[in-house]
Structure 1
Amino acid sequence: MARQERLYIVTYDIADPKRGRRVFRVMEGYGRWLQLSVFQCRLTARRRGALAMRLEREIKPSEDHVLILDIGPAEDIDPRVESLGKRFEVAPRQAVVI
């Protein structure tokens, strides 16, 4: 059975810079950094759950906000992005070793 990956966009607004750096480090292990507080991630259900648990440990719910947008099955998605300003490059599919 093939691993079912889904494409997610994760964006966050963290009130404390120290917590923000910790969240950034967590996110680096799960996806590709696109812009400031935005990551593109291809995740199995298990890795998506692990990501949410790791983020919940790092944030302060009364001050911080994380959005995890489920875009759909990764193999069926070819993100079309309109980019103003600097050039945007679609994240290539690649293995991430943690």
Structure 2
Amino acid sequence: MARELLYVDTNHVLDSKRWREVLRLLNGFGHWMQLSVFQCRLTVRRRSEMKASLQGEMNMAEDHSLIIDLGPADGMEVRVESPGKPYETPKRQATVV
């Protein structure tokens, strides 16, 4: 099995239609945390696919996305502080395609 890395993707998309498309796209790659922030467990190949897909949806002159590499996903305990509504850690589960 390919090694997964943990990423946080944050994005700023100016057009509301493009923003909705980017959110729809990122839902296929990771777990929505809030507004324009996603937590993603990805292999290097899936990260490349996500980046290429984002570039296809975004206006590269107006929008941007930050893909932050947090390191190997296995064994990493993600600690999130969430003043206000409690943050729920995503549950890992198999997805049949």
User: Do the structures match in fold with TM over 0.5?
Assistant: yes
Structure 1 residue ranges, 4+ long, deviating more than 4 angstroms after superposition: none
Report what 1:41 is aligned to.
Answer: 40
How many pairs were matched up?
97
Runs of at least 5 residues in structure 1 that lack an aligned partner in the other structure: none
Alignment of 1:44-55 (within 5 A): 44-55=43-54
Shift of 1:95: 3.3
TM-score (norm 2): 0.93
Work out the percentage of aligned pairs sharing the same amino acid.
Answer: 49
Corresponding position of 2:20: 21
TM-score, reference length from structure 1: 0.92
Gaps of 5+ in 2: none
String of CA shifts for 1:6-37, please: whole Å, max 9, x gaps: 01111111000000011011101101111011
Contact residue 29 and residue 96 of structure 1 kept, 8 A = no
Instruction: Supply the RMSD in Å over aligned alpha carbons.
Output: 1.3
Contact 1:9 / 1:41 at 8 angstroms: preserved in 2?
yes
